[in-house]
Amino acid sequence: MPRTICTAKMCEFGPHFEILQAGGFEVATVPSEVDLRKEPDRVVEQVESFDAILAGAEIYSREVLEQLPDLKVISRYGVGFDAVDLQAADDLGIAVTITPGVNHHSVAEQAFALLMGVARLTRSQDRAVRSGKWERALTPRVWGSTIGIVGLGRIGQAVATRAIGMGMKVLAYDPFPNQSFVAEHQIKLVDLNELLKQSDYVTLHLPVTSETIDIINKETLAKMKSGSVLINTARGGLVDEEALIEALQSGHLRAAGLDVFKKEPLPVESPLINLENVLLSCHIGGLDKESHRDAYAMAAQNIVKLYQGDWPEECVVNLKNTTGWQWPK
């Protein structure tokens, strides 16, 4: 009987157990006291005897993967896959899958929660009232402002429709946009420099690739409109945090709303912690009850499909030049 281990910290409940067991798998979980994000050296120890991993945010480097000879599939919960060395997975014949299309509404809601929290000074207002202060302040209106969406995939599109409902002007940058969606919603496509120049709010919805690492850096931050706001619910690797901190401290950026970071959990010594013009959350963009259920179900289904000889094309992110991949029986 093949074996699957669930490593994500929130995998204790959901439909994935039944799906995997019905597909012929023995299922185990990493002990609750072990956090593989904080203890990356323990990844091999925890997963080495398993055929498939329903994976969280832990790192699968080449060094790790080479120590897992039984591994056939890494099925990621969510749409990010930057924690996995895809070239190493290719070389070792390990399929890597994600769960597209299940959490885009949740991420879009979190992007707007951060945007509105920043726009209406939610953090400082809450603290002031709790401390007995009554500190009213004037802020720019969101209605009529311009939002620039960097990446117009499922999540970017979900942000766009919400922004339109909020009365915002929508700009978008995407190398391969969905033209029918753009036309239907009358979204203005621009290059990245123009988006940064014109937007009051810039929200990131790109994967981390060799082309997008630190796409927000000292140079691109300088191109952003003075007094604008950065929102990131995508990946911490998209932003040069030192450059962002400098832009926030100087006042060039009015504020930032951040759900993701270079290192997670965010170290308590990070200067971001003490900046008054930053609203922080702990990578919860894709986490609502519905997304949790559907993502774990799809992650489990991807494992079962691959075991049964099916190939979930839209979910597999590697092995692009491979034909005839089969689960060794």
Question: Could you give the strand order of the β-sheet that contains 201-204, starting from the edge strand earlier in sequence?
Answer: 188-189, 169-173, 146-150, 201-204, 228-232, 253-258, 278-280
Active-site pick, 105, 154, 283, 292 = 283
Half-sphere exposure of 144 (CA within 13 A, CB side): 2
- Alpha-carbon gap, residue 269 to 263, rounded angstroms: 12
From 45, 264, 276, 290, active-site residue? 264
Beta bridge mates, 275: none
Cα angle value 251/212/319 (rounded, 5°): 155
Residue 137 · residue 120 · CB < 8 Å: no
Q: Catalytic: 283?
A: yes
Given 235, 241, 254, 292, which residue is catalytic? 235
- Is residue 42 flagged as an active site residue? no
CA distance 314 to 55: 18
At position 88, the amino acid (one-letter code) is A
Report which DSSP code applies to 266.
Answer: P
**Catalytic residue numbers, as ranges:** 235, 264, 283
